Chain A
């Protein structure tokens, strides 16, 4: 017995000698990666005629220009109530879109999870549909939908709806499978039907994760809806576009500040909510 143990230990020490070579290898690969990145930078700078020195020296100039033009003046401050009302509109639309999309996505994703024991064909179709809606960016959705709805709040609504629906369907499938697989098995073993299993097992066990994802999507959608608003001429995005094109930079900067503050507030709020429900 003791012979066996010592032989094992000597085996271990001989392994130690290989360790130095592992460190050498790691260093070598880091150096190679660094050289690779540097080479990529040089090549792309040459191809695009990018002047490195000019690029860096123009930073202070840009900063001075921004300070000069983007400091809100009195006229801009007087626009705050109007900007605020548009901001509220954008936030409410984002929340509404996210809620609608997440309810649809939840029931849709149930068909794609292993928990409902739906046929592999249905599950695969669900995943493909979700991937399609997710992989088309919301801006592209907005541009496509502009043809059918025109510059309208509905266009923005549907654009956000589709991308949110795709994103959440996919995440819900994974979350549900991860969180509730074990209790789902037990509920099926008691003779529960799949609908009963969803209501008594899947929903209670995955709800906190799902709410957390929905909150995250609300944050993301407030940000994206600004961008989509520029395209569809609605909400805070439109206002930013308007001021910007009028070269009323100080008003535009108030819009930006308002968006930043809103996103921070929403983030803090949802973090608080997360802490409570988890």
Chain B
């Protein structure tokens, strides 16, 4: 499989002081499902945000589909962003708008400035939006306002919005961290489906090591801005997990029971 995403010696320092990433290098092939695990504040979110340039890297380069993202001008960033979907821990929907409007926001990247501002969507786009909603089991909710939805439903709207972009890569920033176990499973199952049947590459930040090991074929462990593990999920041993979280036997929630 061709390489879709590549980090080459990427470092990120916020405000000239806070080191978020130090010399991070890895590459992701098209169609992979990669989970990034690590303690809070270790730089997981920064990695994802470097890919769609919500954050600019300080050093090194990020390649998406062969293009150096750091060299991209405003127009090219837009081209990259519309091919990269993103879902968030707090869903980041426009709560006061309806579900269908939020889903159609996924098309804004394809619009000219003016037709985007007035919200002119074609009939095909609307039809596609309803198809995606049906696929995610949200047909009933299409005209509801997003603040009426449960967390799991909101996250599915988030997924629908990113699928409207026809993305090649889906970035998931703690997609299930605010969800109950049952909604979390639904969301993870959808993400696996999207990855396997639609062939969309997934990179997901996760807090739950067991979830990461079950759903992702490959895991990247990151500690204090550096990659300390990168390999297939079955090679992630207990000692390696302790190393990632810089803790000892008996100090992790996974050790209970």
Contacts and interface: CB of A to CB of B under 8 A. Distances in A.
- Same complex for A and B? Answer yes
Interface of A: 180, 182-183, 185-193, 195-197, 199-201, 204-205, 207-208
A185 B54 CA distance: 8
B54 A191 contact: no
A205 B95 contact: yes
Interface stretch (B26-34, B80-88, B189-197): B80-88
A84 B95 CA distance: 43
Nearest to B116: A196
B118 to A, nearest CB: 8
Interface string B183-220: 00000000000000000000000000000000000000
Interface of B: 52, 54, 78-82, 84-86, 88, 90, 92-97, 101, 105-106, 108-111, 113, 116-119, 158, 161-162, 165, 171
Contacts of A189: 52, 54, 81, 84-86, 171
Contact of B54 (A188, A195, A196, A201): A188
B95 A192 contact: no
26 contacts: A182-B90, A183-B93, A183-B95, A186-B92, A187-B108, A188-B54, A188-B81, A190-B81, A190-B82, A191-B82, A191-B109, A191-B110, A192-B105, A192-B108, A192-B109, A193-B108, A193-B113, A193-B116, A196-B113, A196-B116, A196-B117, A199-B117, A200-B97, A200-B116, A204-B96, A205-B95
B121 to A, nearest CB: 11
A231 B111 CA distance: 53
A191 B108 contact: yes
Nearest to B106: A190
Given A190-B109, A196-B113, A200-B119, A205 B94 contact: yes
A69 B192 CA distance: 82
A191 B78 contact: yes
A205 B96 contact: yes
Contacts of A188: 54, 81
A186 B117 contact: no
A208 B106 CA distance: 24
Contact of B165 (A183, A190, A197, A201): A190
Contact of B108 (A180, A200, A207): A200
A190 B161 contact: yes
A182 B173 CA distance: 13
B113 A186 contact: no
A127 to B, nearest CB: 19
Contacts of A200: 94, 97, 101, 105, 108, 116, 119
Nearest to A1: B250
Contacts of B118: 199
Contacts of A192: 105, 108-109, 116
Contacts of B97: 200, 204
B195 to A, nearest CB: 19
A216 B257 CA distance: 56
Nearest to A180: B94
Given A190-B161, A196-B116, A200-B105, A182 B92 contact: yes
A206 to B, nearest CB: 9
Given A182-B88, A196-B108, A199-B117, A191 B165 contact: yes
Given A185-B54, A193-B116, A196-B113, A201 B94 contact: yes
A195 B82 CA distance: 16
B90 A190 contact: no
Contacts of B171: 189
Given A189-B84, A196-B113, 6 more contacts: A183-B94, A190-B86, A190-B161, A191-B78, A193-B116, A204-B96
A186 B165 CA distance: 12
Contacts of A201: 94, 105
A191 B105 contact: no
Contacts of A196: 108, 111, 113, 116-117
Nearest to B80: A191
A199 B119 CA distance: 9
| Top 3 A-B pairs, shortest CB-CB distance | A191-B109, A191-B82, A186-B92
Contacts of A186: 86, 88, 92-93, 105, 158, 161
